[in-house]
């Protein structure tokens, strides 16, 4: 399909800095790319400034094929270029907007639900999918685990994909009949302008805790990136649904639409409390506008009650009555890699969870610790965890402290070491240990750590394996190697 150049000049506030042959009204392009290796004669090449690469460094290669360039720095345009070049303030943002126009024209009719926050994004999108599907809606989901629409599943590489993949996927979902798309929206994606081609009907804020300071550098910068969803990416009629118990969430003032706060504290619009909780799930009651509602969530954990409240309010904001939504919560099932049980005949409670931040690990372990106190025979909690390489180092000792606080036995091991020395990562983690009389074991090899956890566990004990969750690989160096916590645990439990 041909796209006119004169249109994007108006829409994107682009300035002509090189004028080639012909007239602007006659120029067209068939595709948009930021990869010089994919440029064709009818490509519009956008010199995107990324984290690791700057598209301006590849202008010479792109200019040999394409006659249409978009840049931020006009002095980087090759001196012998005889085509058209346009200057914009942000090539990242413009690339996302162009991808929206070129690759997902039909998808603009979809309802977009964006979920941001440190923890709970994946669970909230799963819950949204379940609630809306229960009422006969077709819901596309884009997130950490995968991209999917009912039985159609695409592999996911990033929590929020780059603009071109994002909009191609949205169009595929639209063509397959999707009515809604629930998206995890990461701080990286917001900061890098990956979603600048979208405006959201509903935006959910789950929480903010320590993570990604290797990229954002400071708490404030991390927080400001999260806020972009609410300050720049909302439709005029949008509904913002915010965890009001989170001090950062409470301070968010959306640019458009209506805001609802939820949580356990009295200042919220939706106020919930857990009436009863065990390993089978949570009985919850909440109030809104002097009305009381109750439901059962067959997933354990107060953090999951926060997640389902965000999803419930979102579904209500889309027009579904709270009375009809209450029974639908019972159809919500466990999320892969989120406190996922590993069945066994050893009378052990074994869970795999994606918790990879101090806050997430504390929430999961606190829950298991509370459950432990309710049991007649007091079990041990055995926690296995590690920290990813080439990622925020500041959280490593803090995760050690949380593990020691709630566990009887802590086994420290590798996560995805990537290009870091695994031993150096372990040493960073161990800096957080405190004398507490609890057993501490260190196994650099994750498989050995999982086997050790099973070997020392006694009937009735609880094993938590944290950090990798749904992942079926381990990244060592730059290579992804097959590795599944669930599969290794099943084998170890069968053999023990």
DSSP track, 220-250 = HHHHHHHHHHHHTSEEEEEEEEEETTSHHHH
Residues in the chain, how many?
Answer: 496
Q: Can you state the angle between helices 395-406 and 422-430, rounded to 10 degrees?
A: 60
Say yes or no to pLDDT of 212 above 70.
no
Residue 125: predicted pLDDT: 97
Q: What is the CATH number of the domain that holds 424?
A: 3.90.190.20
474: left (phi over 0), alpha (psi -120 to 50) or beta: beta
Of 331, 364, 387, the last residue of a domain is: 331
Q: Is the same domain home to 288 and 357?
A: no
Q: Is the same domain home to 326 and 257?
A: yes
Give tens-digit pLDDT for 55-106: 999 999 999 999 999 999 999 999 999 999 999 999 999 999 999 999 999 8
Q: Is the same domain home to 345 and 311?
A: no
Of 45, 72, 92, the last residue of a domain is: 92
The number of angstroms, rounded, from the C-alpha of 346 to the middle of its chain's C-alpha atoms is 34
- Scanning 212-340, the segments in alpha helix (DSSP H) are 213-216, 219-231, 247-250, 302-317, 322-325
Residue 22: predicted pLDDT: 84
Say yes or no to pLDDT of 138 above 90.
yes
Q: Is the same domain home to 450 and 321?
A: no
Domain that holds residue 200: 104-331
The stretch 349-363 carries a mean pLDDT of: 93
User: Residues 148, 151, 156, CA angle at the centre, nearest 5°?
Assistant: 25
The stretch 330-346 carries a mean pLDDT of: 89
Residues 6+ away with beta carbon under 8 Å from 74: 17, 18, 85, 87
Flag whether 98 is in a domain: no
Bridge partner residues of 412 (DSSP): 385, 442
Q: What is the CATH number of the domain that holds 243?
A: 3.40.1190.10
Q: Is the same domain home to 112 and 157?
A: yes
Q: Is the same domain home to 344 and 294?
A: no
Flag whether 86 is in a domain: yes
Confidence band, pLDDT 50/70/90 cuts, at residue 310 = very high
Residue 146: predicted pLDDT: 93
As a whole number of angstroms, the distance between CA 281 and CA 288 comes to 23
Strand, coil or helix: what is 49? Answer: strand
**Range with top average pLDDT, 49-53, 225-229, 242-246:** 242-246
Look at 320 and 213; give whichever has higher pLDDT: 320
Residue 485: predicted pLDDT: 97
- pTM for the complete prediction? 0.83
Closest CA to 203 of 236, 179, 229: 229
Q: Is the same domain home to 116 and 59?
A: no
Flag whether 147 is in a domain: yes
Q: What is the CATH number of the domain that holds 10?
A: 3.40.1390.10
The stretch 231-256 carries a mean pLDDT of: 96
Say yes or no to pLDDT of 496 above 70.
no
- Scanning 104-153, the segments in alpha helix (DSSP H) are 121-134
Confidence band, pLDDT 50/70/90 cuts, at residue 210 = low
Report yes or no: 124 and 204 within 8 Å, Cβ to Cβ: yes
Q: Is the same domain home to 144 and 257?
A: yes
Residue 338: predicted pLDDT: 86
Per cent of the chain over pLDDT 70 is 98
Flag whether 215 is in a domain: yes
Look at 14 and 467; give whichever has higher pLDDT: 467
Confidence band, pLDDT 50/70/90 cuts, at residue 261 = very high
Flag whether 372 is in a domain: yes
Flag whether 310 is in a domain: yes
Residues 6+ away with beta carbon under 8 Å from 345: none
Q: Is the same domain home to 17 and 108?
A: no
Give tens-digit pLDDT for 193-203: 899 989 999 99
Flag whether 228 is in a domain: yes
Say yes or no to pLDDT of 427 above 70.
yes
Q: What is the mean pLDDT of the chain?
A: 93
Q: Is the same domain home to 86 and 122?
A: no
Q: Is the same domain home to 145 and 248?
A: yes
Flag whether 467 is in a domain: yes
Of 305, 331, 357, the last residue of a domain is: 331
Residue 437: predicted pLDDT: 85
Residue 376: predicted pLDDT: 65
Domain count, the chain: 3
Say yes or no to pLDDT of 314 above 90.
yes
Q: Is the same domain home to 143 and 283?
A: yes
């Amino acid at each position: 399909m041909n796209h006119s150049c004169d249109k994007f000049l108006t829409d994107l506030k682009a300035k002509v800095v090189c004028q080639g042959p012909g007239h602007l009204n006659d120029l067209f392009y068939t595709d948009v790319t930021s990869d010089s290796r994919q440029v064709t004669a009818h490509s519009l090449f956008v010199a995107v400034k990324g984290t690791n690469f700057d598209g301006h460094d590849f202008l010479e290669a792109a200019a040999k094929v394409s006659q249409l360039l978009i840049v931020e720095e006009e002095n980087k345009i090759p001196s012998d270029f005889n085509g058209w070049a346009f200057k914009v303030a942000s090539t990242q943002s413009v690339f996302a907007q162009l991808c929206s126009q070129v690759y997902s024209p039909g998808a603009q009719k979809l309802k977009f639900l964006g979920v941001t926050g440190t923890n709970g994004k994946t669970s909230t999108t799963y819950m949204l999918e379940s609630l809306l599907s229960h009422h006969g809606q077709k819901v596309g989901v884009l997130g950490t685990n995968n991209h999917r629409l009912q039985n159609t599943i695409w592999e996911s590489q990033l929590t929020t994909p780059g603009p071109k993949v994002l909009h191609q996927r949205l169009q595929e979902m639209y063509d397959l009949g999707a009515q809604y798309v629930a998206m995890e929206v990461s701080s990286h994606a917001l900061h890098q302008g990956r979603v600048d081609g979208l405006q959201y009907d509903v935006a959910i804020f789950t929480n903010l805790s320590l993570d990604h300071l290797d990229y954002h550098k400071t708490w404030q910068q991390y927080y400001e990136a999260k806020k972009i969803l609410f300050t720049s990416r909302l439709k005029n009629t949008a509904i913002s649904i915010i965890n009001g118990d989170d001090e950062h969430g409470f301070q968010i003032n959306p640019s458009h639409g209506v805001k609802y706060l939820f949580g356990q504290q009295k200042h919220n619009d939706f106020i919930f409390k857990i009436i009863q909780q065990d390993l089978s799930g949570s009985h919850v009651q909440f109030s809104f506008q002097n009305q009381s509602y109750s439901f059962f969530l067959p997933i354990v954990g107060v953090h999951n009650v926060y997640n389902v409240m965000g999803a419930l309010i979102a579904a209500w904001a889309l027009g579904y009555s709270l009375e009809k939504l209450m029974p639908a919560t019972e159809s919500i099932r466990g999320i892969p890699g989120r406190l996922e049980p590993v069945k066994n005949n050893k009378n052990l409670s074994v869970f795999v969870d994606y918790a990879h931040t101090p806050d997430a690990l504390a929430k999961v372990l606190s829950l298991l610790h509370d459950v432990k106190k309710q049991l007649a025979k007091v079990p041990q909690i055995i926690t296995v965890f590690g920290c990813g390489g080439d990622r925020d180092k500041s959280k490593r000792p803090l995760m050690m402290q949380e593990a020691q606080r709630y566990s009887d036995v802590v086994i420290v091991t590798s996560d995805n070491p990537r290009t870091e020395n695994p031993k150096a990562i372990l040493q960073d983690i161990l800096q957080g240990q405190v004398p507490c009389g609890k057993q501490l074991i260190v196994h650099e090899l994750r498989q050995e750590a999982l086997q050790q956890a099973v070997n020392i566990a006694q009937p009735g004990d609880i094993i938590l394996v944290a950090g990798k969750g749904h992942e079926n690989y381990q990244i060592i160096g730059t290579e992804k190697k097959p590795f599944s916590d669930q599969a290794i645990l099943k084998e170890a439990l069968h053999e023990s």
